[in-house]
Every structure is written in structure tokens, then in C-alpha cells.
Structure 1
Amino acid sequence: MPKFRRHHNRTHRVFYGWYVVAASFAILFLTGSASTIIGVMIKPIGDDFGWSRTSISSAIFVNMAVYALSLIITGRLYDRFGPKWVIAGSTVLFAAGFALMATMDSLWQFLLYYGVIAAAGFGGTTVPIFGSLMGRWFDKWKGLAASLALAGNCLGQFLLIPVFSDLIDGSGWRITSLWIAGLCGAVGLVLTLTVIRGDPGQLGLKAYGADSGKQSAMKKLGRAAAVVEEPRGAAAPALAPAAVAARPRDLTLLEAMRTPALWLYTFVMFVCGSGDNFVTTHLVPMVTDYGVSTSVASNMLAWLGLISLAGILVAGPVSDAIGYKIPIAITFAMRVVVFAILLKYQGIVPFWVFSVSFGFTVLVTAPLTPMLVRTLYGVTHIGFISGFIVTVHMIGGGLWAYLAGIIFDNTGDYRLAFWISLGFAAAAAVAMLLIREKRHLPKEGSTGTGPRADT
């Protein structure tokens, strides 16, 4: 192994992390479409079984709740064992859930197969895990790397949703479920087992840009900290306090919970998830309720996914330049505007405007969340802390998709759901601006389990 590592460092001109980016892109290309296809399946499944939107939305709520809980587990496993086996095991569960969906004939089976089994697989095969993975492989350009990897989620939704929609029309939702299971299972496992590596150190490498970043930091440290002179004959010189303070200990989740920033951002992500999943779940049925064809409605959902690619490609480099909270706050201000437009106007043109505009905001937080966590709390517990935050995001998404179904069944439309979403988006924009985007330090003497962290 040592010989291989030396040879690897000497001969590979392309940093291996870019192969990890490419593999992550391909996996997310498939899971991105699979995670949103349920919005196209709502009416066909409801027509086959006579289920209300509340009933179908209940399975989506269970799915998101289990997904949220699985993120905590996979985040912890990720920190302890690395992503390779977490992603591989999750891929098996994800594929099994969709394969079993093809056999279901009752609501409890839908709740189990899609709501529990597939959801458990989602936890290790979607955006949060891969965003954290980019944080391990890249020190420089980490925002760009995360954006490129997560772009697969958007392109998959854009290119595959129309294909799966046509397959549903031609062969039914059961055959479509089998295709999703086969593609995601086969491709995901092959790429995970052959390409994905959890840490540059496994190949004798360092994170991209780590050396240059360390050199820059040492130059600054050299100007700020002096070596304390010791009497002649002392064992070794000691660093001045400034040098010791330059390398703070990373915060644990419990310590992060004692800072206002975590709870502000957790609220923001709850709102983010509620808006994301509400729209991606109910957009197609809502638009078809106004007489738009299923094919056109599916294309709206597909374009929503494509435009979300533009959002994350812009967010990554911009965040590298100006930080994370301003881009995120702007996306929620945009949501206020697009929700207001949809409440004022209904029709095929307003629906297209809404789909494209909302799409730009959907995945902005995906690459930025682990990076913001790293900035605030350090890298040691990035998976666990990010998993907690995204867990709340998913619970918000599942709960609001379910409540929107109840609102529809009781009022006949989604207007009240959109009004509430507008108010939440405005509150999230304000909350984001209140976050102090700086490194949070543990209280002096803290070991990670006791005293309060710096706020």
C-alpha cells in the first residue's frame, strides 16, 4: 500500500478528489430524479387505489420523517466509518424500497416501502452526505466542488423526470418503480465501491488546497505570534498563547446547540424544507388541477430541477467570495416574491414563471450547509451537525407536504398553503441575517460535553 500511495501521488496529474466529484454527480443524477418522481405519481397512484391526497401525502410525511432520522444515523456513521459503506448500504435500501413499491396493493405497504425502506436509503444517497464528502476532499474551492457534485441532482431531475413521466403514462407507475430501483441500485453500487473514497489520506493525499492554505495561515501566525524565549538548556521553546489559540478545538453537536447560530439556521432549514417538498410534491397535481396536461406539468417540475442547478452553481463560487448567509437570505427573499406572484396569477404562463423562479432557490442551501457548519464549528463533527440540521429540514418538508394535502382536501386548492409558505420565507430571510458568521469557540476549559460554547 505505501508503494501504491507514493506512485499515486507522483503519477496522477488530476487530483483524485475530482473523480470523487464526478462519481457523486452521477449518483445524485439518478437519486435526484427518484426523490422527486413521487410528485408525478400522486395522481396515478391515487386513481388506482382511490386514495385522497391526504392519504398519499401521509406516506410522503413518513418518508421525510424517516429520511430525517436516517440523516442523524448516517451522519454519525459517516463521521466514524467514512462515506463509502454508508452510501453503499443506503443504495441497497433505496433500490429495495422502489422495487417493493411495484408490488404494493394497500396503503400500509406504501407507508412501509416508500415511507420507511426507501426513505432510509435516501439518507445516505442524497445531497447532505455528498456535500459533507466535498468538505473532506477540498479545502480550496470547496464551494465549487460541492456545487459541481450536487449539480447531478438538478440535471437528473431535468432529464429523467420527463422520461419517467412518459414511462408512467405508457407502462404504469409500477414498471417505472422497477426501472428506478434497477438504475439507482446498479450504478450507485458500482460507483460507490470503485470510486468513492472518504478521505484524501486513504490515498496518501491531502485535501485540495490544504498546503497553500496552511502556508498562508502560518505566515499570518508568524506575524501575530512570537516564540517565547526559554532559558538556555530548556527542552524546547514554547509557542506564545496566540499560536495555541490559532488552532481551536472543533465543537460537538451539544456545544453547537448552545449557540444562537445553530438554532437560527435550523429554523431557516425547517422553512427551506417545508417550501421545497411542498412545491416538488404538489406542483404537478396542482398544475393539472388547472387543466394543464401531465406532460407539461412534468416538464415544469423538470425545469425547476434544471434551474436549481443554476442556483447551486452560482451559490458555490459566490459563497467562497462573500460568505454564506447573504446568498441564503437572498434566496428566501426571492421565495417571498415568487409565492406572491403565484397567489396573484394562475395560468400556464404564471406556472412556468413560478417553476423556473422557485427552482433557482431550491438547492442553494445544499452545498452551503456543510460549509457553513465547517465555518462555524469546525470539521470534526461536520457530518453529525449537518445531519441534525438537515434532519429538521426534512421533517419540515414532510410535515408541510402532508398539511398541504389536508388543506387541499378541505379547501379545494392550495392558496392557504402558499400564504403560509410566503410568511415563513420572509421570517427565514430575516433569521439568516441575524447569524454571526464566524468561528465559534468552546468555552475555556470545555472538553466537549460540559460548559457552554462561545456564542
Structure 2
Amino acid sequence: MVTQAGQATFFYGYIIIFAGFIIQAVAWGTGNSFGVFFDPLITEFGWSRAAISGALSMGFLVHGVSSMVLGNLNDRFGPRLIMSVCSLFIGTGFLLMTRIDSVWHLYLFYGLIVSIGLGGIDVIPLSTVSRWFYRQRGMMSGIVKVGTGLGMFVMPFFINWLLTGYGWRHSFLVLALINCAFVLFLAQFLVRDPVQKQQYADNDLTNAHDSHTGTEQGLAFKEAMRTRQLWIICMVYFIILFCAYTIIMHIVQHAIDIGLPSGAAAGVLSTVGGVSIFGRLVMGGAGDRIGEKTGLISCLLILLVALCWLQAVNALWMFYLFAMIYGFAHGGFFALVSPLIARFFGTRSHGLLFGIVIFCSTVGGAIGPLMAGYLFDVTNSYSWVFSILAGMCVLAVVLTAALKPIARQ
């Protein structure tokens, strides 16, 4: 039903937000908590950290390639079908993880199958949100990404409880069932854009022209590919994911090495997730007001502070303080990226462009944990790792400051 003012009595965009929120919470809550499995896998099989990190690195690369493909398919066929397929990949991969007994199984089941499905978990919901919202795009993207923060807060505790009571094989089985059921069900509520529901972006009649003509604003894909801005954003998010996934995948094991019990170490990762909820909300809304570029620089400076502090961490309270500082920046990074792309390039080819940025970032996410695992195996310390992350963060600040608006002809 539509009122005389041209507004729907119920705006379907809020269903998009809710579905995207839960999908993020379940899928990324699980994916970002994989570091909790390091200790039981090392204990049972004796694999090195570099070997396990290598599977995760392969997964990030597959996730990146998958994001480009799925972003393009999402632009063409819509989110419902593509997200449904993603859910089947994630569920099947985790189900197969219950049967691993060799390291190549980890590379195949998680590094390939699960990661193909994870490739759609950001690009599909966030591209859809960018089409349903304009004025509050940053805030709404931030709300969806709060789901990731909630999942990162809850899942490490939940997985640690499963591991303690039922072992790692049964834990993977439970995660397979949860991911497949939730993501597949919620995918059925995703709709590509307001025109398919006879509504307008932001539920605002002033956006009626674009909705009824089916046109979208922004650069064509080939035009965007020729801009310097796209590749700067790709480099910045390469660095961000290099840092972020090195931290996420190694912070639990680092805390255990320092002497923390496994439950307290998992709590550090959960704190990152919990505080990131605040970061996603605050920086998502701030991006709408002060601009995504300024918001991104702010998050990078906070990350730099956290990395400098991490060099001195040697006690439980210090780990949790690090988690609170870093968690805010972590949340902001992922709330800002989709609106940043829409701000510079519009929504015309948003899914594919977002997929390219995700691919470049996941190359960083692949290299970072592998590098950290190798350096630890060689030096028996994370000191060099944290120093490298801090130096790369400084470079990201400089690159982001160099971003300029695209000259429109």
C-alpha cells in the first residue's frame, strides 16, 4: 500500500536490513572465529601454524575471486538466487570439515568450498542495501555490518563451548547446520531494488524517477576501472584486510602463548566483535555526515594506536584494552567500504566494483595470516609481525588522504 505522499506504509528496505543483519551475524560470526580452532587442530594433528594459516590464506583468495563473480551475478540476477547458492556452499563445506584427517582436506573443504560461499556474504547484502537507501546509506550499511560484530562477539564463546563439550568434529557439524539453515531461509527475503516492490529508494517520492525507469546513477564499469580512485581504494583495503585478518586469526593463539587460558583468549576475539558493533554504528552514521574518506582515515589512525599498544601487551587486561581499541576501528572499516564505493562510483555497477575491492582486500587477508604464521615459526615471536602491520597502516593513511573526488564530465 502506498500513501498519497508516495511513501509505502511499510518500507521493504527494512526487511533487507534485517535479513542482511542476520546473514552477516551467522556467516561472518563463524568465519571470523576460525582462529578458535587453531589449538585443537594443532593438538590433534601436529600441524604448524603456517600450514593452517595457509588454508585460511587460500580461503581469502577464493573468497575474493568469488566476490567478483558473485557481485557481477548479483547485478544481473538479483540477490535471492545467488545468496541461496552461497548458503549451500557454506553448509556443505563445514559439513565436510567434520571428516578431515589430512591438511589438504582443510585446504579443499574450508579454503575452497566454504570460502566460495563466504564470497557473497558481504557483496550481496551490502550492494542490495546501497540500492534501497541513498541518504542513510552509511548508517544502514553500518546496521547490517553490526550483524558481523554480534556474530564475532557470540560465536567465539559458542564455538569454545562446543569444543569443550563435544569436540571439534561435532562443532563443525553444528556450524554447518546453523549456517545453511539461516542463510538459505533469509536469502528468500532479499530483493534487488525498490522497483521490484513498486517502492522508491529511502521510501522517498523524490527518488521516483530512477525507480520507475530502472536506471541507476554512477559510472559504467569500464569508466570506473580507468579511475585512480578505484585502485587507491583497492590498495587501502588490501592493507586493512592484511592487518585485520592477521589479528583475527592469530590473536587467540598469541594470547594462549602469553599464558591466558583458552576461554579468556577466545574472549579477546569476542571483545573485538562486541566493540566493533559500536564502531559499525558510529562510523556508518559518521560517514553520512562527515564523509566516508574522513571516517576511514579516523579508523586507520585508531588502528595504528592499537597496533602500537599491542607491542607491549603481556597481561589479560592489556589484551582486552587492545581488543576495545582495535574493535572500534575494525567495525568502522567494514561499515564504510560499501558506501565509499557508492559515493565515488554510484550504484550502476556497484556489485562488481565492490567485488573487485573485496578481491584486492582478500589478497591482503590471504598474505597477512600466512606471513604471520611463517614469521612466528621462524622467530617464535609475533614482534616482527606487529611492527610490519603498523608500518602498513601508516601507508594506508597516506593513500586514503590522497583520495580526491572524481571529475564528472
Distance 1:70 1:345, change over 3 A: same
**Which residue identity lines up with residue 113 of structure 1 in the other structure?**
F
Instruction: Give unpaired runs (5+ residues) of structure 1.
Output: 216-246, 443-455
**Alignment partner of 2:202: what SS?**
coil
More helix by share: 2
- Partner in structure 2 of residue 49 of structure 1: 45
Does the residue aligned with 2:365 lie in a helix, a strand or coil? helix
Task: Write the letter of the residue equivalent to 1:198.
Answer: R
The CA deviation string for residues 364-393 of structure 1, in whole angstroms up to 9 with x for no partner, is 232322222222112110111111011111
**Superposition map of 1:365-384 within 5 A:** 365-384=333-352
Answer yes or no: is 1:406 the counterpart of 2:400.
Answer: no
Q: Per the alignment, do residues 382 and 440 of structure 1 end up closer, same or farther by CA in structure 2, a change over 3 Å counting?
A: farther
Aligned sequence identity (%): 28
Match of 1:40 in 2: 36
TM-score (normalizing by structure 1): 0.85
Q: Letter of the aligned partner of 2:351 in structure 1?
A: G
Whether 2:165 is the aligned partner of 1:198: answer no
Map 1:327-366 onto structure 2 (within 5 A).
Answer: 327-366=295-334
The counterpart of 1:308, out of the listed 273, 276, 279, is 276
Q: Does 1:260 align with 2:256?
A: no
- Measured in 1, the distance between the counterparts of 2:169 and 2:103 equals 15
The alpha carbon displacement at 1:250 in A equals: 3.0
Distance apart, 1:128 and its partner CA: 3.0
Q: Give the aligned partner of residue 231 of structure 1.
A: none
User: What residue is the counterpart of 2:360 in the other structure?
Assistant: 392
Report if aligned partners of 1:139, 1:209 keep a CA contact under 8 Å in 2: no
**Which one-letter code corresponds to 1:441 in the other structure?**
R
Residue correspondence of structure 1 range 54-203 to structure 2 within 5 A: 54-124=50-120, 126-193=121-188, 195-203=189-197
Q: Which residue of 1 aligns with 2:212?
A: none
Whether the aligned pair in 1 keeps the contact of 2:216 and 2:348 (CA below 8 Å) is no
- Amino acid in the other structure paired with 1:17: G
Question: What is the Cα deviation at residue 11 of structure 1?
Answer: 10
Report if aligned partners of 1:251, 1:441 keep a CA contact under 8 Å in 2: no
Name the SS for the 2:311 alignment partner.
Answer: helix
Residue 47 of structure 1 deviates from its aligned partner by: 1.1
SS of corresponding position for 2:201: coil
In structure 2, runs of 5+ residues without a counterpart are: 210-214
Q: Secondary structure at the match of 1:379?
A: coil
Of the structure 1 ranges 169-178 and 112-121, higher mean CA displacement relative to structure 2 is found in 169-178
> What secondary structure sits across from 1:196 in the alignment?
coil
Q: 1:415 aligns with which of 377, 383, 388?
A: 383
- Equivalent position amino acid for 1:144 in 2: M
Match of 1:288 among 231, 244, 256: 256
In 2, the alpha carbon distance for the partners of 1:99 and 1:20 equals 28
Of stretches 377-386 and 127-136 in structure 1, the one that deviates more from structure 2 is: 127-136
Contact residue 127 and residue 366 of structure 1 kept, 8 A: no
What CA distance in whole angstroms lies between the structure 2 residues aligned with 1:53 and 1:32? 22
Q: 1:202 is aligned with what amino acid?
A: Q
Is the contact between residue 270 and residue 392 of structure 1 (CA under 8 Å) also seen in structure 2?
A: yes
The corresponding residue for 1:208 is: 202
How many residue pairs get aligned? The number is 403
- Secondary structure at 1:398's aligned position in 2? helix
* 1: CA distance, partners of 2:280 / 2:173: 30
SS class of match (1:123): helix
Residues 251, 377 of structure 1: 8 Å contact kept: yes
**CA deviation map 1:282-340 (0-9, x unaligned):** 01001000110110011110110011111110111111111110110111111111111
Over aligned residues, Cα RMSD in angstroms? 2.0
Preserved contact between residue 375 and residue 439 of structure 1 (Cα < 8 Å): no
In structure 2, the residue matched to 1:242 is none
